Amino acid sequence: MSRHARVRYRARPAFQPTAPDDMRRPSSPVPDLKTRERLRSIFSGALGNLVEWYDWYVYAAFSLYFAKAFFPQGDRTAQLLNTAAVFAVGFLMRPVGGWLMGLWADRHGRKSALMASVTLMCAGSLLIALTPGYASIGIAAPVLLIVARLLQGLSVGGEYGTSATYLSEMATREHRGFWSSFQYVTLILGQLLALAVLIALQWTLSPDQLDRWGWRIPFLIGALCAVTTLYLRRSMVETEAFVRSHSTARPARSSLRVLLDHPRAILTVIGLTLGGTVAFYTYTTYMLKFLVNSVGMSRPTATLVSASTLILYMLLQPLVGALSDRIGRRPILIAFGVLGTVLTVPILSQLGAVSTPLQAFALIMLALLIVSGYTAINAVVKAELFPVEIRALGVGLPYALTVSIFGGTAEYVALWFKSVGQEQGFYWYVTGCIAISLLVYLAMPDTRKASLIDRDRQRPD
Does 18 fall in a domain?
no
Per-residue pLDDT tens over the stretch 226-278 = 888 888 777 788 888 788 777 765 666 767 888 888 899 999 999 999 999 99
Instruction: Give the per-residue pLDDT at 53.
Output: 81
- Domain membership flag for residue 15: no
Report, as an integer, the average pLDDT of 412-441: 92
In a domain, 151, yes or no: yes
CATH number reported for the structural domain that contains residue 47 in this entry: 1.20.1250.20
Asked whether residue 19 is domain-assigned, the answer is: no
Among 2-11, 23-32, 56-65, 165-174, which range has the highest average pLDDT?
Answer: 165-174
Span 112-143, pLDDT tens digits: 888 888 888 888 889 988 988 877 888 788 88
Q: What is the CA radius of gyration of the chain?
A: 22
Domain that includes residue 289, residue range = 33-458
pLDDT tier at 11, thresholds 50, 70, 90: very low
pLDDT value at position 34?
63
Q: Report how many domains make up the chain.
A: 1
Whole-number pLDDT of residue 250: 62
pLDDT at 436: 96
Tell me what pLDDT residue 112 has.
Answer: 87
Report yes or no on 89 lying in a domain: yes
Instruction: Name the pLDDT band for 7 (thresholds 50, 70, 90).
Output: very low
Residue 245 lies in a domain: yes
What is the chain's mean pLDDT, rounded? 82
Across 176-195, average pLDDT? 87
- Residues of the chain above pLDDT 90, percent: 29
**pLDDT confidence of 18, banded at 50, 70, 90?**
very low
Residue 284: its pLDDT value, please? 87
What are the phi and psi torsion angles at 10 (to 5°)? -135, 140
pLDDT tens-digit readout, 341-381:
999 999 999 998 888 999 999 999 999 999 999 999 999 99
Residue 26 is assigned to a structural domain of this protein: no
Amino acid letter, 59: Y
What per-residue confidence (pLDDT) applies to 33?
57
| Per-residue pLDDT at 10 | 40
pLDDT at residue 232, as a whole number: 76
**Pick the residue with more confidence: 305 or 160?**
305
Q: Among 68-72, 104-108, 427-431, which stretch is predicted with the lowest mean pLDDT?
A: 68-72
308 inside domain: yes
Residue 186 has pLDDT above 70, yes or no: yes
Distance CA 340, CA 380 (A): 21
